[in-house]
Amino acid sequence: MLIINNEDVAALLTMADCIRVQQDAFSKIPYGGAIHRPRIDVYMPCDRPDGYYRWSTMEGANNGYMAIRMKSDVITWPRGADGNWTEEWDRSAMQAVRGAWMERDETYRQRRRTGVTPNTPVRSVDGEDEN
């Protein structure tokens, strides 16, 4: 087993290498040549009154190698002057707690790129944000 961290990855791989192997792996998924499980985030309260502890994992296999990405961090949602979360952050928190991350509000939709549909290769995204 080999354990590497973000600094190891940055020292060993170029962005071009990462894109190339990701593209290769994703192209094999429909035929069973590679597999993956999208990231799952688990949230729980923490000692910070403005945050939640988040544990995230995702796995994949390609070319005889199996990998898991694990991430542990604290997510904070800023509060307004009155001490409450903004309405937008409150909606986001409730969506995360329910596991409804696909539900997006108008603010998210306003930040989308023009003409980009799901599964558009990032190198194909050209142009400015809608707003």
Q: Please, which pLDDT band fits residue 112 given cuts at 50, 70 and 90?
A: low
CA separation for the pair 51, 58 (Å, rounded): 22
19 φ/ψ angles, rounded to the nearest 5 degrees: -65, -45
Amino acid identity for residue 7 in this structure: E
- 125 domain residue, yes or no: no
Domain enclosing residue 86, as ranges:
77-111
Judgement on whether residues 58 and 27 belong to the same structural domain of the protein? yes
What would the two tokens of residue 41 be?
A: 């985030």
Number of domains making up the chain: 2
Give me the pLDDT at residue 75, please: 87
- The whole-chain average pLDDT of the chain stands at 80
| Distance, C-alpha 77 to centroid of its chain | 17
Indicate whether 83 pLDDT > 80. no
Q: Would you state the pLDDT for residue 87?
A: 75
